[in-house]
């Protein structure tokens, strides 16, 4: 299913309509005097932003003690 807008409305609301396409994943047919002249559709592929929550799930393969330091204090080369 696609939405239909006239060219004048498209010109006035172009940026908002492009944002809407990204959210709804739905094409827009642009008309001139009621006749279709162009179709604006979402880009193929993963166009939506994925949530960062859970993005690293399964990436830690082995972790013995979560409360132990990552490196020994003597390995730090900090200026005192």
Q: What is the pLDDT of residue 49?
A: 64
* pLDDT tens track, the chain, 80 positions: 679 999 999 999 999 999 988 888 889 999 999 999 999 998 877 645 667 888 888 887 777 787 877 778 788 777 66
Q: Any idea which fold 1-43 has?
A: YefM-like fold (3.40.1620)
* C-alpha dist (Å) from residue 26 to 5, 41, 56, 60: 13, 7, 30, 37
- Backbone torsions φ then ψ of 6, nearest 5 degrees: -75, 160
Q: Where are the chain's structural domains? A: 1-43
């Amino acid at each position: 299913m696609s939405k239909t807008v006239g060219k004048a409305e498209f010109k006035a609301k172009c940026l908002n309509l492009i944002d809407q396409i990204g959210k709804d994943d739905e094409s827009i047919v642009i008309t001139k005097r009621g006749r279709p002249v162009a179709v604006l559709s979402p880009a193929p592929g993963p166009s939506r932003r994925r949530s960062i929550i859970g993005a690293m799930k399964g990436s830690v393969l082995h972790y013995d003690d979560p409360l132990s330091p990552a490196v020994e204090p003597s390995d730090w080369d900090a200026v005192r």
